Amino acid sequence: MHMIVTGGSGFLGQQCIASLLKADSLELAPEASTPIRSITAFDVAVGSLQHPKLHYVVGDIADPHQVSALFREDSAAIIHLAAVVSGTAEADFDLGMRVNLDGTRNLLQAARAQNRLIRILYASSIAVFGGDLPAVVRDDTTPTPQGSYGIQKYMGEQLVQDYTRKGFIDGRSVRIPTVVVRPGKPNGAASGFASNIIREPLAGRPVVLPVDASTAMWVASPRAVVKMLMHALSLAPSAWGWHRAINLPGLTVTMQEELAALEAVAGKKPLGLVQQQADPAVLRLVNTWAARFDTARALAMGFSPDQDFETIVRAYVEDHPEALGGT
């Protein structure tokens, strides 16, 4: 079996590929587990992960010809992670539409053209919810995105839903919580501060918290998200039914609770590197996002969240000892 991972050189893409390579096979229920012969990682740059079964293709997902060229006779499954993140999509409308919407449609059209049912896992986002929301968001809550990124992700969900309804693909969309703690440098995501206030102080670097400490967010660790993505990909179509989008489980955590977990893991010293300074652009987006979800459907389907936020911080320290320099 050949697999395609768009955004395969990114943080989540690399972790998903590592998980697939470690397993060496994939169960696409109801079919039996099938050996993974090769994986194509499609992105704007080559990733650091290297393996004989892994092949990188550098290109533009908005180019339909480049996307079509990714497919092989044995291509069976796709993890679609490629996207322009929230802050960048808001600042550059045309780029966000080109990558997040046009790129997604290019991928679905290319899969449709294979004339066989290819399984596609679409990475959506909780940013599809915004504005005047109920206290707790459920799977049947109507998405009301308030930013370009959330709107583009929701349009992608609807494309996946309709291509699946028409029998062109076997699609499923997962609304991923804010992933914390992301390693590496800060990116253009409006939610990036939720990782920054943990990662940067642990490395001995100062960081700005651009929102109030009471701000709550719906989060999940990289470990939990990768595990849930693999589960979503493997589930049989019958497990999804007609509704192919789901809210993934997570934790509701305030920034104050994040900082308390940081102190529990690393002591008081890193807290002195966190400075609160409001950023109106970030606040405009973050204040529209949902922070509390009822994920009963996902839990019933076998998805599982992190235990607590302190566990998330400890997992980051365990997975990235090279990133520690200030404790």
Rounded to the nearest 10 degrees, what angle do helices 193-202 and 309-319 cross at?
50
Residue 256 burial (C-beta neighbours within 10 Å; 0-12, 13-18, 19+):
middle
56 catalytic? Reply is no
What is the pLDDT, as a whole number, of residue 327? 59
Q: In the CATH hierarchy, which top-level class contains the domain 2-177+222-247? A: alpha beta
Of the CA atoms within 13 Å of residue 44, those in its CB half-sphere come to 10
Ordered by start, the domain boundaries in the chain are 2-177+222-247, 190-217+251-291+306-323
What is the pLDDT, as a whole number, of residue 3? 98
What is the pLDDT, as a whole number, of residue 324? 83
At 152, is the secondary structure helix, strand, or coil? helix
Please write the tens of the pLDDT for every residue from 267-287.
999 999 999 999 998 888 888
Q: What is the secondary structure of 40-104 as a DSSP string?
A: EEEESS--S---TTEEEEE--TT-HHHHHTT--TTEEEEEE-----HHHHHH-HHHHIIIIIIHH
Please write the tens of the pLDDT for every residue from 230-244.
999 999 999 999 999
- Nearest in space to 99 (alpha carbons), one of 168, 148, 169, 39: 148
What is the pLDDT, as a whole number, of residue 323? 79
The vertex-154 CA angle with 70 and 124, nearest 5°, equals 55
Catalytic option among 56, 122, 149, 316: 149
- The predicted model scores a pTM of 0.95
Q: Scanning the structure block, which residue is given the tokens 């102190």?
A: 263
Instruction: Please list the alpha-helical segments (H only) found in the chain.
Output: 11-23, 64-68, 86-91, 93-96, 103-112, 148-165, 193-202, 222-234, 237-240, 255-266, 280-286, 296-300, 309-319
What is the CATH architecture of 190-217+251-291+306-323? Alpha-Beta Complex (3.90)
Low-confidence ranges of the chain (pLDDT < 70): 326-327
What is the pLDDT, as a whole number, of residue 233? 98
What is the pLDDT, as a whole number, of residue 326? 60
What is the pLDDT, as a whole number, of residue 288? 83
- For residue 178, which amino acid is it? T
What is the pLDDT, as a whole number, of residue 286? 82
- Nearest in space to 176 (alpha carbons), one of 134, 228, 135: 228
What is the pLDDT, as a whole number, of residue 113? 98
> Token pair for residue 96?
């966000």
- For residue 165, which amino acid is it? R
Q: Residue 30: is the preceding peptide bond cis (ω within 30°)?
A: yes
What is the pLDDT, as a whole number, of residue 58? 98
Please write the tens of the pLDDT for every residue from 160-210.
999 999 999 999 999 999 999 999 888 778 889 999 999 999 999 999 999
Q: Scanning the structure block, which residue is given the tokens 């509704």?
A: 243
At 263, is the secondary structure helix, strand, or coil? helix
Cβ atoms of residues 220 and 249 within 8 Å: yes
Q: What is the mean pLDDT of the chain?
A: 95
Please state, in angstroms and rounded to a whole number, the distance separating the CA atoms of residues 214 and 217. Answer: 10
